[in-house]
Structure 1
Amino acid sequence: MKALVLGARGAVGRVVAAELLAAGDEVIPAGRTAVPGGVRVELPTEDGWRALKRESASVDVVVNASGIEDARIATYVGTTPLVEISATAAYLAQLRDANVVLGAGLAPGLSTVLARALASEPGDEIDLLVMLGSGEVHGPAAVAWTADLIGAEVYQPAEGGVVRNLTTSQMVVGPDRRRRRYLRADFPDNLLLADLRVRSYLTLSSGLATATLAAVAHVPSLKGLIARAPHLGSSDWHVIAVNRRTGERLATSGAGQSETTGLLTALAAQRVAGTRPGIVTMDEIVALPDLLGVTTPDGRPAVALAEPAADAPKVLDL
């Protein structure tokens, strides 16, 4: 299998490239500057679009780990399957008439698979609660995504009406038995799981960092502080899925958001390489047991199934 990895030098892209190479696949790293064995694809320049079209025609799959959210990427990739790790719902909604995996990382991606693993009926309300490790040094695209939530509205919220990011919350016990505040946030699973009504929430491994994020959300002019915030807390992450109707709850956890995202993205690339899947989501190409079988280069599970806390309350809006 031969893969073109856009953003191969970034926090996620380099993990994708390394994982594919370790599996015996051929990788062409691509970015604004060429590296040995790679190509220069500087988007969104005209030369960059031409290079993307040319290189995409010679590979089995293209992975966009560049952080660039431009619907023309799918156009120039052509019929080659595209694996997209973006967590921006409005951007993913623009990717039509393409062979693309929408949301192949942690959230969306693992979150999408976890929500689908719940026993549910059409129209059920699902809560996805995502903790990201604020002690981890994230790439510029991840930092920008978080900052862009501030002052913005949730894209087509499941509850209807206008919902501002990070201004409402829930208190929930996580798989580590700690009670945390989870802020309503615009992860795109409600778009990707069209038969369910999905609300997504975000917390950080540092309670102080979460409180700061919530405070800045009420004063959007201060969102520039996000990029300069110290890295408090750990690199631990978790994703919880709850069916409001039944109370069923599934939780997964791990460490290293960028590494886990890269490993899951590499798996998605291997699953769709050389095919024409149309527009699919992560839950359509892998199941939860597949993700639980993914391991890091040092041999530990990348994703662990966590037992729900015995005293975990049903998830209720505050």
Structure 2
Amino acid sequence: MKILLLGARGAVGTVIRRELEQAGHEVDAASRQATGDLGVDLRGDLEPLARIAAHYDAVVNASGVERADIAQMTTSTPLIDISASGAYLEELHARATGPIVLGAGLVPGLSTVLAAGLESLPGDELDVCVMLGSGEQHGPAAVEWTAGLVGAELYRPPEGRSVMNLRGGLRSVGPDGRVRRYLRADFPDHVLLNAVPGRSHGEGGGLRVRSYLTLSSSALTWALAVIGRLPALRGLLKIAPHAGNSNWHVVVHNRRTDERLQAEGVGQSEATGRLAALATIRAVDTALQLPATMADIVSLDDVRSVLA
């Protein structure tokens, strides 16, 4: 299998490349710095991408650049996108002219698989509680995504009213048995589980999915809550110390049944890269033809095996 990888030098991109190459696949890195046909500027003209995409079995966007018109550049070649912005992923789906895996990674991705794996009925409420490792050195795209939450409303929240990021939340038990404070955050599973045809999730009588974020350092979670109410302090996120550890977890809880599915590990970038590589392989192996989420092409056993 021959893969075109956008963002190969990033924290996640390096893991994706390693995983795919170790599985015996050929990976070419496209970037602004690349020469010849692999010179692709995602912030500029996308025509070079449209020209070369047809020569690959899949295109993976791990660049952090969110341009929905990239969906029109890959046509019949599967596009695997690791972005975590609901508005972008919804527009990507709307513009799709071929197969796309929407939100391939940890959250969304693993979280989508867990949410879809719960026994649920229309109208059920699911809480997606995410802990990210505040001790991990994240790439600039991840930092910018977090900073973008500050002072912003959630995109199309299931409440049907304005909900602010990082304000309010809940207390819940993590996989280690510890009770933590989770802040409301704009992870896009409520969008993804409603976007793909054939699913009954999201608004309009389907599942009501709410996502929450905590950090492995309780002190930094507290600080994040303060910044969420004082957006002028947003810049502090870029200079915040990497306190705590690199542990992460995702817990999905059905309020009606009290059923939970969860997963945990060490290293957000490592897990995201492994899961994105898995999604890439599955998209090609299944001859994906339409936009899909991770839950449509990957099983719970698959993700647990990859993360073991």
Using the size of structure 1 for normalisation, the TM-score is 0.90
Which of the residues 79, 84, 87 maps onto 1:87? 84
Pair 1:221-2:224 in alignment: no
Q: What is the distance in 1 between the residues matched to 2:72 and 2:149?
A: 27
Distance (whole Å) between structure 2 residues aligned to residue 32 and residue 10 of structure 1: 14
User: What is the one-letter code of the residue matched to 2:49?
Assistant: L
Write the distance in 2 (CA, Å) between the matches of 1:38 and 1:283: 33
C-alpha distance in 2 between matches for 1:50 and 1:38: 11
Using the alignment, how far apart are the partners of 1:257 and 1:281 within structure 2?
Answer: 19
Structure 1 CA distance, aligned partners of 2:275 and 2:178? 26
Residue of structure 2 equivalent to 1:13: 13
2:296 aligns with 284
Work out which of the residue numbers 56, 71, 74 in structure 2 matches 1:74: 71
Deviation at 1:283, TM superposition (A): 0.3
The 5-angstrom pairing of residues 101-140 of structure 1 reads 101-140=101-140
1:226 is displaced (CA, Å) by 0.5
Which position in structure 1 is the counterpart of 2:204? none
Structure 2 length-normalised TM = 0.92
Are 1:253 and 2:252 counterparts?
no
Match of 1:166 in 2: 166
Q: Distance in 2 between matches of 1:208 and 1:277?
A: 46
1:209 maps onto 2:220 in alignment? yes
Query: What 5-or-longer segments of structure 2 have no aligned partner?
Result: 195-200, 202-206
Question: Shift of residue 123 of structure 1?
Answer: 2.4
Listed as ranges, the gaps of 5+ residues in structure 1 are: 296-300, 302-318
Q: Which letter does structure 1 place at the counterpart of 2:298?
A: V
Letter in structure 2 aligned against 1:291: V
**Stretch deviating more after TM superposition (125-134 or 71-80):** 71-80
Alignment RMSD (CA, Å): 1.4
1:200 partnered with 2:211: yes
Pairwise CA distance, 1:148: 0.1
Per-residue deviation, 1:276: 3.9
Q: 2:248 is matched with which residue?
A: 237
Deviation by residue 1:238-285 (Cα, 9 ceiling, x = unmatched): 000000111111111000000100000000000112734311000000
Contact 1:29/1:38, CA 8 A, preserved across alignment = no
CA drift of 1:38 comes to: 8.6
Corresponding residue for residue 306 of structure 1:
none
Query: Where do 1:180-191 residues align within 5 Å?
Result: 180-191=180-191
State the alpha-carbon separation in 2 of the partners of residues 139 and 294 from structure 1.
22
Q: Does 1:26 align with 2:38?
A: no
Aligned position for 1:40: 39
Give the corresponding residue for 1:51: 48
The 3 A distance-change label for structure 1 pair 241 and 38 is farther
Distance, in Å, in 1 between the alignment partners of 2:53 and 2:168 is: 42
CA distance in 2: counterparts of 1:282 and 1:94, whole angstroms: 17
- 3-state DSSP of counterpart to 1:291: helix
> What is the DSSP-based 3-state SS (H/G/I as helix, E as strand, rest coil) of the residue aligned with 1:193?
helix
Say whether the 8 Å CA contact 2:37–2:48 is kept in structure 1.
Answer: no
Contact 1:79–1:276 under 8 Å retained in 2: no
In 1, Cα distance between equivalents of 2:182 and 2:288? 38
Letter in 1 for 2:6: L
Q: Which one has a larger percent helix, Structure 1 or Structure 2?
A: 2
Q: Aligned letter for 2:182? A: Y
Counterpart of 1:312 in structure 2 is none
- 8 Å CA contact 2:37, 2:52 repeated in 1: no
Q: Where in structure 1 do 4 or more consecutive aligned residues deviate above 4 Å?
A: none
